[in-house]
Amino acid sequence: MKTKNTYQKLFSPQSIAIVGASNKKGKIGTIIAENIFKLGYNGKTYLINPAYKFLGFKRCYPSLSAVKKEIDVAIICVPAKFVLDVVKEGMQNVKNFVIISAGFSEIGAEGAKREQELIDLAKKNNLNILGPNCLGFINPIVNLNASFAAGMPKAGNVAFVSQSGALIVGLLDKAKEEHMGFSNVISIGNQMQVDEADILEYLAEDKETKVIGMYLEGIKDGSRFLKVAKKVSQKKPIVILKAGKTEQAQKAISSHTGALAGSDEIVDVAFKSAGIIRADNLDDFFALLGLISFTDAPKNGQMAVITNAGGAGVLATDAFKNKEIALMEFSQKAKENFAKQLPSESSVHNPIDLLGDAGADRYQNILEMLKKENPGSTICILTPQQQTPVEEIAKIITSVKEKNKMSLAAVFIGGERIKNGVLHLKQNNIPNFSNPESCVRALDQYYRWSIFANEKTDEQKYAANADCKKIVSNIIKNAREQKRGALSFSEAANVMLEYGIDSGSFWIVSADGEKPEIKEFPVVAKIDSDKVLHKSDKQGVILNIKNSGELEEALKALGQNFPGEKVLVQPMQQKQVEIILGIKKDDIFGPVIVYGLGGIYTEIFHMADFLLPPMSEAEIKKQVLSGKIRFLFQGARGQKAYDAEEFSKIIKGIMDFALENSDIDGFDINPLFIYNDGRKASAVDIKIII
């Protein structure tokens, strides 16, 4: 069983072996051995290579077992075909392995077989294996570089985890320039066994780590990852740069809603649900890691901005649009005090304009006075005018931040003239942005994370309803036995009823069979067949039938066009608002509920949102009330609000259905009519593709 300390020995070992250590210039075994020896690691080290008795002055062992002592971790850099034997031979005295070697699942069937053998071995013998096909790891806190990346990054509080080894190398190089320090740098390679969720769990407990940055291409087990990430996010921020698309080919016929949900949007929703901060690109990623590493999260959403450039202040003001954080309103007293310290042309409103000739004293005075106003964070903007003492201002900002323990970020705009000032900021842990927009965006993301971390979210568990599951699986089984591709309307309506979703009254008839006793007109007649899924396109729907004579005609016409098929007759409901609801299966995160504005404008307005089950009804309602179609439930333009509670119950029903019937191929309700006059919502058309 994995415990808190499972990976402690792997990533912070007291003894380490290098299998495949060498002295031949440029070989990976040589580079890793040199990195471990020359960069200050103090633990015990063992070189393993049967070709040598000594490497330099250091003894070399023919195998791991020949060391005859427990070793915390072995770094393996021999060709893939030898790796299994090395692990088998060494597992008596080593439990943790890092496999640098390439040549596993990433190369196809032969490599996948090798990888599977290793997985089986690890499982059976309780081993932890990082990689294969990875760069290794670096723990700057103990001066251990167990990778073939060059040098030792500065020690600090950022943990960086990457699926790409090459990206680590680039990032570490840039980090040097940014003066960013690391607690861990981990290359996870094929994540054959130790995966990104395991590493998150480890880093959550690592006291040196304040922020976790991840570069991910794929996610191994989406639902486990989200569960772990959600827990970890409550403790420390996770920033992820996610590359790669996961779009599953859409089965156009099966579901209309599928097309509304791009896989990348689902990643957004999934990350948001777990409190993960998503970076859009590498620059963003760096900016976020720098901000979080260097300063505290905004204490509240009210920001103060000071600037020596009016234009930059305007840009900053614009940047707050659609953000959770806002420019704060200063108290009258504060504004009077600011005014006493500034020339009369200055603006004492937020952003405070210190004017172009501002020296360090104006920055200092205002920053000190701002303390009383208790801003969530303060943004200090500077452009280098002729008389601007850039470095002096950088020093003042640093000392005021230190003294007052403020959450603060700088935006020094310029190039050559601000170089030394920016260097001073970086050396003294002040996050600096090259423009106000990036700064405001990053602070906003940091703030949203802090709200997530402070909200106690219950773990959403789904309790299956055995009776309902049995009834529904019998209906689906029966249809499958009849080799049908979809449920009929009456079957689908019965399934939905089990989940509390009503389809109103209806009759199923055949063109030449008995006619229903219908007293209330108008009605609608539709073909109810798994072979005709898009009925309107194929003239399978006749609307506004006003009496039994017209119904007779309609049934005849449908019978001629679709011989032998059943016909569904429903009251012609007066529509108010049409909603579309569906389930999209995401490769990574499983079923995703899609809901939005239906009708003819569905695709044009793209007013759809996505929710990841399981969720409680209360949580669904919260999302509905903040989603794209929230206006319906808020009573826009004097209209009576639609019932958010009823709608959330319907979504909950669909979530439960999705979780209990993960093997269905497609689902949508299109349309669901909702009303704001007391009438119950009604699923007018339901497709369940099996």
The least distance separating ligand COA from the CB of residue 24, rounded to whole angstroms, comes to: 5
Q: What is the SS3 assignment for 582?
A: strand
The least distance separating ligand COA from the CB of residue 70, rounded to whole angstroms, comes to: 19
Q: Are strands 302-307 and 54-55 parallel, antiparallel or unpaired?
A: unpaired
The least distance separating ligand COA from the CB of residue 104, rounded to whole angstroms, comes to: 9
Amino acid at 628: K
C-alpha–C-alpha distance, residues 72 and 502, integer Å: 61
C-alpha–C-alpha distance, residues 157 and 294, integer Å: 9
- Residue 184 vs 445, nearer CB to ligand COA: 184
Closest CA to 46 of 23, 20, 7: 20
C-alpha–C-alpha distance, residues 392 and 260, integer Å: 53
Q: Which residues contact 621 (CB under 8 A, 6 or more apart)?
A: 644, 645, 648
The least distance separating ligand COA from the CB of residue 241, rounded to whole angstroms, comes to: 17
- Residue 51 vs 451, nearer CB to ligand COA: 51
- Residue 89 vs 201, nearer CB to ligand COA: 89
C-alpha–C-alpha distance, residues 143 and 84, integer Å: 29
- Residue 133 vs 488, nearer CB to ligand COA: 133
- 672 phi-psi bin (left φ>0, alpha ψ -120 to 50, beta other): beta
Q: In the structure encoding, which two tokens stand for residue 379, read together?
A: 């943004």
- Residue 48 vs 269, nearer CB to ligand COA: 48
Q: In the structure encoding, which two tokens stand for residue 487, read together?
A: 């449920």
The least distance separating ligand COA from the CB of residue 148, rounded to whole angstroms, comes to: 8
**Long-range contacts at 427-432 (CB < 8 A, ≥ 24 apart):** 427/179, 428/398, 428/402, 429/179, 429/293, 429/294, 429/295, 430/294, 430/295, 430/394, 430/397, 430/398, 430/401, 431/287, 431/290, 431/291, 431/293, 431/294, 431/295, 432/290
Q: What is the SS3 assignment for 431?
A: coil
C-alpha–C-alpha distance, residues 12 and 686, integer Å: 56
Q: In the structure encoding, which two tokens stand for residue 439, read together?
A: 């700064």
Closest CA to 7 of 171, 186, 225: 186
C-alpha–C-alpha distance, residues 221 and 342, integer Å: 57
The least distance separating ligand COA from the CB of residue 101, rounded to whole angstroms, comes to: 4
- Residue 170 vs 343, nearer CB to ligand COA: 170
C-alpha–C-alpha distance, residues 200 and 204, integer Å: 6
- Residue 54 vs 82, nearer CB to ligand COA: 82
Q: Which residue is nearest to ligand COA (CB)?
A: 165
The least distance separating ligand COA from the CB of residue 195, rounded to whole angstroms, comes to: 16
Return residues touching ligand COA (CB under 6 A): 19-20, 22, 24, 27-29, 48-51, 77-79, 82, 86, 100-103, 133-135, 165, 187
Q: How distant is the alpha carbon of residue 455 from its chain centre? A: 18
The least distance separating ligand COA from the CB of residue 282, rounded to whole angstroms, comes to: 18
455: exposed, middle or buried (Cβ count in 10 Å: 0-12, 13-18, 19+): exposed
Alpha-helical runs (H) found in 518-642: 548-561, 602-605, 617-624, 630-634
- Residue 19 vs 410, nearer CB to ligand COA: 19
Q: Are strands 377-382 and 302-307 parallel, antiparallel or unpaired?
A: parallel
Q: What is the SS3 assignment for 660?
A: helix
C-alpha–C-alpha distance, residues 532 and 530, integer Å: 6
- Residue 54 vs 462, nearer CB to ligand COA: 54
The least distance separating ligand COA from the CB of residue 209, rounded to whole angstroms, comes to: 22
DSSP string, 129-140: EE-SS--EEEEG
- Residue 86 vs 608, nearer CB to ligand COA: 86
- Residue 19 vs 442, nearer CB to ligand COA: 19
C-alpha–C-alpha distance, residues 271 and 495, integer Å: 31
Q: How many CA atoms lie within 13 Å of 290's alpha carbon, on the beta-carbon side?
A: 31
The least distance separating ligand COA from the CB of residue 576, rounded to whole angstroms, comes to: 57
Q: Are strands 58-61 and 54-55 parallel, antiparallel or unpaired?
A: antiparallel
The least distance separating ligand COA from the CB of residue 66, rounded to whole angstroms, comes to: 10
- Residue 22 vs 295, nearer CB to ligand COA: 22
- Residue 76 vs 439, nearer CB to ligand COA: 76
The least distance separating ligand COA from the CB of residue 192, rounded to whole angstroms, comes to: 13
Q: What is the SS3 assignment for 635?
A: coil
Q: Which helix (H) or strand (E) holds 106?
A: none
Residue whose entry in the numeric block shows the structure tokens 């909603």: 579
The least distance separating ligand COA from the CB of residue 100, rounded to whole angstroms, comes to: 5
The least distance separating ligand COA from the CB of residue 685, rounded to whole angstroms, comes to: 51
- Residue 22 vs 378, nearer CB to ligand COA: 22
Cα Rg for the chain, rounded, in angstroms? 31
